[in-house]
Amino acid sequence: MRISDGLIRINKELAKIKEKKPERGIHGPMHALAKEISEYAGEPKKFGMYLGIVKNIGLKKAYQIFSKIKQSKDVKTPGKLFVYESSYSKKTKQNIK
């Protein structure tokens, strides 16, 4: 098998694979998480609010809070709980000065 034959075969295989277009308006992991949270909370129109929260608290912290909420079985209003958990911060020695 020659290299050019291999490349032709690879190109044919790649042509078979349909490229999935990214969803409109979702530009990165923060947008994706904000969309997932807003849909989970049943408030898709508040996507912007959730995006702002995710940007303020950071992606890692937002994932932690959202995972905790999803694991809880008896949460009636996950959106309100996410907002509350994201705004709550324990005072550290630096904040007490």
Query: Looking at the domain assignment, is residue 55 inside a domain?
Result: yes
Q: Look at residue 77 in the predicted model and tell me its pLDDT.
A: 92
Has residue 41 been placed in a domain?
yes
Q: Which amino acid does the sequence have at 95?
A: N
Per DSSP, the residues of 4-41 read HHHHHHHHHHHHHSPPPPPPTT--SHHHHHHHHHHHHT
Positive or negative, the CA dihedral 58, 60, 64, 69 is positive
Q: Report how many domains make up the chain.
A: 1
The model's pLDDT over 35-55, given as tens digits with 9 standing for 90+, comes to 999 999 999 999 999 999 999
Q: Is residue 21 part of a domain?
A: no
**Cα radius of gyration (the chain):** 21
Instruction: Check residues 60 and 21 and name the one with the higher pLDDT.
Output: 60
pLDDT at 92: 45
Domain that holds residue 58: 26-88
Task: Please indicate, yes or no, if residue 37 is contained in any of the structural domains.
Answer: yes
Residue 95 has pLDDT above 90, yes or no: no
DSSP 73: S
Whether 45 is in a domain gets the answer: yes
